[in-house]
Amino acid sequence: MVRELKRNGARSFIGIYFRLDTKTLVYAGKYNEPHRQIELGVAIKEIMTFEDPLGYELIVDRKIEPKEIDKIRFLASKNWMAVFSP
């Protein structure tokens, strides 16, 4: 993902940290494969069992409300791979 963003000209990233209830419905699955709608808590448990979770994504199909946002941080380029690695 970082490689594609950099190829398209992205030079900096901002991390938005937020909290959702574990009952929130998300779409979960591997990148470029069909996703299924499940509860966030179930999806997190699933990810924790994977030997290689790279490419697994969770999509929240609604607006993240301001009260759900914990913090916003600039992500230094030297840490991009740490952010996107397990």
Q: Which pLDDT tens digit goes with each residue over 4-30?
A: 777 777 777 888 999 999 999 999 999
Q: Which pLDDT tens digit goes with each residue over 66-78?
A: 999 999 998 776 6
Asked if 5 and 83 touch (Cβ cutoff 8 Å), the reply is no
CA distance 29 to 6: 24
Cα Rg, the chain, nearest whole Å? 14
Asked if 24 and 64 touch (Cβ cutoff 8 Å), the reply is no
pTM of the model: 0.73
